[in-house]
Structure formats: structure tokens, C-alpha cells
Amino acid sequence: MSYLKIMAKVTSVLIGLVALGWLIHTSTATPAPQRSAEQDRQALITLENDWLKHEHDAAALERILAPDFVHPVATGDFLDKGQHIHYSSKHPPRGNLKQRFDNLTVRVYGDVGIVNGIVVTSDERNTDIDRTIFTDVFVFRDGRWQAINAQETKMEKL
């Protein structure tokens, strides 16, 4: 399957999840205090940085991920929140690796936020050894931003 077909399918799934999240949220939401788009954007950047820093910490993930969180993975499985936390906390990376964001973009649509970016992994010599492109979807619920979907794709060298 071509890269464009795969990306089209991923985009279709994400749009469906955002729409579903919006429908669920609007049917159960209580009025939220006024927030500005810039406040939301900064809050999502802060949350993404916290997630990257603590991606293998079960307690941090419990706070960051919504109860209805879904993580489609390369095996064709859809991990729920508990499965994601279990796997992530049991499989930490080597201790000498560092990660940072590249091309981080945030779009906010009311109570839905979408973050796209690239996670760059480097070794102890600061040599980039891996790049992963991702999309995370968040919803503002219960007075805070929560991740409802995460998907990433390992980038191939061109």
C-alpha cells in the first residue's frame, strides 16, 4: 500500500475519532470557563512536552490520557488506555537516548486540539538515530486537556 493511501486512511480514522469525541463531549459537557486559543495552544504544548518526558511513567500517563484513549499501533491493534500504559511502562528505552520535538504544530477547534509533529531520538553523541511523525488528538473535558488518540509512524530515510 502506498504512503499516500496509508496517510489517507489514517486521516479518515482521525477525523472520525475527532467527530465522535466532539459528539460525546457536547452531549455530556458542562460549561467551561472562557479560554483563549493561545492559552489552549500553550497548554497543549506543555502537555505534549510532559507526555514526551514521562512517556514510560504510568502515573503521568494516567493523568495525561483520557479514559477513552485509543492508540492504533503497527500490529493492527487498537490499544486502550490501560493497555497503552501497561506496554509503555514495561518497555522503557535505553537510558542514553534523548528525545525532542521537531515541527510541532497545534490546531485548536473549540474543545478539540490536534497536535502534529516529529519526535527526534538521538544517542549519547547527539547523533539523530530515529524520527517518528505523529498526530495526537485531545479534548478539553472536566476542566483539562486529555489525550483521546495517538498515532505515530516511524519515518524512513529518503
Every domain of the chain and the residues it spans: 3-28+35-154
Q: Which three cell numbers stand for residue 153?
A: 509512524
Average pLDDT over residues 39-56: 97
Residue tagged 502537555 (cell numbers): 47
Answer for the pair 139, 65: CB distance below 8 angstroms, yes or no: no
pTM: 0.78
Please tell me the class of the 3-28+35-154 domain: alpha beta
Distances (CA, A) of 73 to 26, 39, 80, 138, 142: 28, 31, 11, 18, 27
Confidence of residue 95 (pLDDT cuts 50, 70, 90): confident
Write down the mean pLDDT value for the chain. 87
Q: What is the DSSP letter of 30?
A: P
Decide if pLDDT at 38 tops 70: yes
Per-residue pLDDT, 94: 78
